[in-house]
Amino acid sequence: MQRGITADDASKIILESHKDITIVLKAVGSSKRLIILGYLLKGPKSFSFMLDRLKIKRTTINHHLDLLLKSKLIEKEEWGRYQITEDGVEFIVSIIKAYKVISDSTQNEQEKILNEWPEWPDFLKEPRIIKENKVSNPALYEGGWNSYISSITGVLNFLGDQNDYIYVSGITGYCFLVSIPEIIKTHLIKERNPADAWQEIYRGTESFGWQLKKWEQKRNSPGKWNLIGKDLELALKVFNQVEEIINNDTPVILFGVHGAHFGIINGYRNDNYLVSSYYRKEGRKEVPLRFDQLRILDKFMYYYFKKKKEKEETEAVEKKALERALEFAKGTTYSNRGYYVGSQAYDFWIYMLNKGKEENIDLFGNSILGIYYFDAKDVASEYLDRLARKYKNTPQEVNLRKASKNYRDAKRQLEKFTVLFPFFEPENSSLTLDKRKKGAEILKNVKISEIEAINNLEKSIEKWA
């Protein structure tokens, strides 16, 4: 081994320092962080350079840079630029050397086998494809943390309705909805809404001029990840139904893709779905998903757009969307049957942080709500700002701008919450009593901003001619 390190020496170092080694490995365990290191190998770079090249949010870039700084792979210059350390250069070079050795040897071995047996038929030299079909123009997963909106946006773009994540989220009202079930546990908590709230979201979705079809069926053995027995039969039934829809050149939005998320199905290959998912947002390569590898706890569910329907005038659609946003933000209509919605959701969340039983709240549930609603407030603020610019010099403009600012203030508060409780970083976070109380104070400020936003939304609607 290099530097005279024997296998025994390496084993001893791993066993004694595995936590520190894990931190360093985690620092490069992201395509975005590897890209940052790739740029820094060419010389020091500014934060604005990274922001321009990576096309991701400021908070996300800060998160990546912080991990690289903590692992001492990079350092910050006095004038604000970032540069790779000598240890960082050596570490990356060693990784690249190992990668080249592994990839070259694998490729050479495959070529050697095929060359030694040239009489093998062609179908044995390539993966055998029994059946495969794709839609004519694959729909691409678009947007942010809301997987329903990200998937819907991609499929609407496929249909020729070119709108982005922000506009689709605003028209459906989803970015104005705060909905929390009676416990705050696990990353499954996001996108959990009362049935009547979902019905209103569907109405907003159909306002783009397409009929939304939904299919769902409860699992035989809910609460377990593995699909076995009758659930396996159901999974195959779903696959066959989706296959028929794909054969009609129609993409499908399926729940359970790479976790408890919605994703887009653009085709199938043998018994695999060909998907576009949040992997795209993270810069990861999409991989086919076997029909029995869906991650669902209670029911199978998918959507697709069947046919065009009559579409209202855009201004009428946008006014109705604002009314929908107001009802979601208030939440009083939907706070029932096991869900807290709107202001009541914040009251419940604050209570859980201050006094809630530990068995009803955990780190993952709390942190994902923070980043999920941070994204939602950012979207709500931008959507309202767009409306204000579109309806400039109208009676509703002033209050639309004020509501946009209110949501921007709420977003800034939630950004503090995401720093206090970073998502999926248990080693850098905790639910200590002190942190819980700080989090509760932040949420109180978020609620104040949202109440002000509700008042401005009401005035905007009243003034809308």
Domain boundaries in the chain?
A: 1-128, 315-463
State yes or no: pLDDT of 1 exceeds 50.
no
- What was the pLDDT predicted at 442? 97
The total of other beta-carbon atoms located within 10 Å of residue 438's CB is: 16
Question: What is the arithmetic mean of pLDDT over 53-71?
Answer: 82
Are the C-beta atoms of 380 and 170 separated by less than 8 Å? Answer: yes
433: its two tokens: 């009593």
Share of the chain above pLDDT 90, in %: 51
Measure the CA–CA gap between 14 and 26, rounded to whole angstroms: 15
Helix runs in 331-432, H state only: 343-354, 363-390, 397-420
The per-residue pLDDT of the chain, averaged, comes to: 86
Q: Band of the pLDDT at 212, cuts 50, 70, 90?
A: very high
Bridge partners of residue 341, in order along the sequence: 179
Task: Over range 357-366, report the average pLDDT.
Answer: 76
Query: What pTM, to 2 d.p., does this model score?
Result: 0.72
Amino acid in the structure at residue 33: R
Segment 214-238, tens digit of pLDDT: 999 999 887 777 888 899 999 999 9
Query: Pick from 132, 138, 153: which is nearest to 204 by CA?
Result: 153
Q: pLDDT value at position 87? A: 84
Q: Could you read off the pLDDT of 252-304 as tens digits, one per residue?
A: 999 999 988 899 999 999 999 999 999 888 888 899 999 999 998 889 999 99
d(Cα 369, Cα 363) in Å, to the nearest integer? Answer: 10
The H or E element that residue 222 is part of is none
The alpha carbon torsion through 112, 114, 119, 121 (nearest 10 deg) reads: 180
User: 22 or 456: whose pLDDT is higher?
Assistant: 456
Residue with tokens 């030694």: 116
For residue 92, the cross-strand partners are none
Span of 132-136, 188-192, 383-387 with lowest mean pLDDT: 188-192
As a whole number of angstroms, the distance between CA 164 and CA 382 comes to 12
More confident residue, 422 or 108: 422
Q: How far is 399 from 326, CA to CA, in rounded Å?
A: 13
Domain 1-128 in CATH 1.10.10.10? The answer is yes
CA dihedral for 9, 15, 20, 21, sign (positive or negative): positive
The candidate with the shortest Cα–Cα distance to 148, out of 131, 165, 163, is 165
pLDDT tens, position by position, 71-99: 888 888 755 678 888 888 888 888 887 77
Q: Which stretch, 20-24, 369-373, 448-452, has highest mean pLDDT?
A: 448-452
Q: Determine the residue type at 233.
A: E
Joined together, the tokens standing for residue 20 give: 């520190």
Residue 147 has pLDDT above 80, yes or no: yes
Q: What is the pLDDT of residues 307-349, one digit of tens each?
A: 888 889 999 999 999 999 999 999 988 867 788 999 999 999 9
**How would residue 44 be classed by pLDDT, with cut points 50, 70 and 90?**
confident
Buried b / exposed e along 67-82 (16+ C-beta atoms within 10 A): bbeebebbbeeeeebb
